[in-house]
Amino acid sequence: MKLSTRARYGTRAMLDLAQHYGDEVVPIKDIARRQQISLPYLEHLVGPLVDAHLVQSVRGSRGGLKLAKSPDNIRLNEVVCLLEGPIEPVDCIQSPDKCNRSQFCATRDIWGDMGRAMTSVLEKTTLADLVSRQQAKVSPDSDMYYI
């Protein structure tokens, strides 16, 4: 199963906002540049995040975006499901009537388990957790010396 660019880019934008949590606002063009997302596409993603009260949009010359709540209080499941829809590998999990084999299909059980496992990971992970993971990748434990 692959996540769409909507979910991937939206999550990266939310990570960027979480890294700047506490700042006044973050200009959307700065997020687009840092995350290497086209500005028009990012603007398209922001609407649903604002509507869901995950992000606040501030207009004006000093405008931009900021998280509507603390990174500790935003779970990745909220972001991904908002932008992607339900996390289910096959349609028959949510709608068994789409397949006449649903009642008797052992593979459907596995696909359901996969969807629940993915949802569980996303529900357990907050934006604050993602910020910590990002810091660990940017800041290696060992010191580097350059001559």
Which CATH number is correct for 5-138, 3.30.70.270, 1.10.10.10, 2.40.50.140, 3.40.50.300?
1.10.10.10
The CA angle 126-130-131, to the nearest 5 degrees, is 115
Domain boundaries, the chain: 5-138
The percent of residues above 70 in pLDDT, for the chain, comes to 93
Digit-coded pLDDT (tens) for 25-35: 999 999 999 99
Closest to 28 in 3D by CA, of 10, 8, 5 = 10
The whole-angstrom distance between residue 57's C-alpha and the CA centroid of its chain comes to 18
Give the per-residue pLDDT at 142. 47
The CA angle 78-5-76, to the nearest 5 degrees, is 20
The pLDDT of 39-49, averaged and rounded, is 96
- pTM, full prediction: 0.85
Digit-coded pLDDT (tens) for 55-105: 999 988 888 999 999 999 999 999 999 999 888 888 888 888 888 888 888
Please spell the DSSP secondary structure of the chain, one letter per residue: ----HHHHHHHHHHHHHHHTBTBS-B-HHHHHHHHT--HHHHHHHHHHHHHTTSEEEE-STT-EEEESS-GGG-BHHHHHHHHH----SSHHHH-GGG-TTGGG-HHHHHHHHHHHHHHHHHHH-BHHHHHHHHHHHHS-SS-----
